[in-house]
Amino acid sequence: MQVERTRWYRVRAVANGLDVSVATIYRAVESGALRAKRIGTGKGAVRIPGDALEEYLEACESAAVTRAGQAADNDAQDFATGGAA
């Protein structure tokens, strides 16, 4: 997904761009993992700034790399011990 740092995105546009559900994006916002602003009165509309989206994607990428590295370490350890835990 190409992200413009100064643009504000709708939740559905972010979900479509990342090929995830709208609920996934709302969960990320509610957990604080993805910064967003509520605009308007009442329930309002949720908008996600481009710079926040870039930060979120970088954090997701870092987490994936870390998990992959841990899995590789575990595989190597299992190999070294003959698969016994």
What is the 3 state secondary structure string of 20-58?
Answer: CCHHHHHHHHHHCCCCCEEECCCCCEEEEEHHHHHHHHH
Three-class secondary structure of residue 66 per DSSP: helix
Calculate mean pLDDT across residues 20-42.
95
pTM above threshold 0.85: no
List the strands of the sheet with 45-49, edge to edge.
Answer: 8-10, 45-49, 37-39
Beta-strand pair 37-39/8-10? unpaired
Q: Domains of the chain: which residue ranges?
A: 8-80
Q: What are the tens digits of pLDDT across the range 39-76?
A: 998 888 999 999 999 999 999 998 888 777 676 666 65
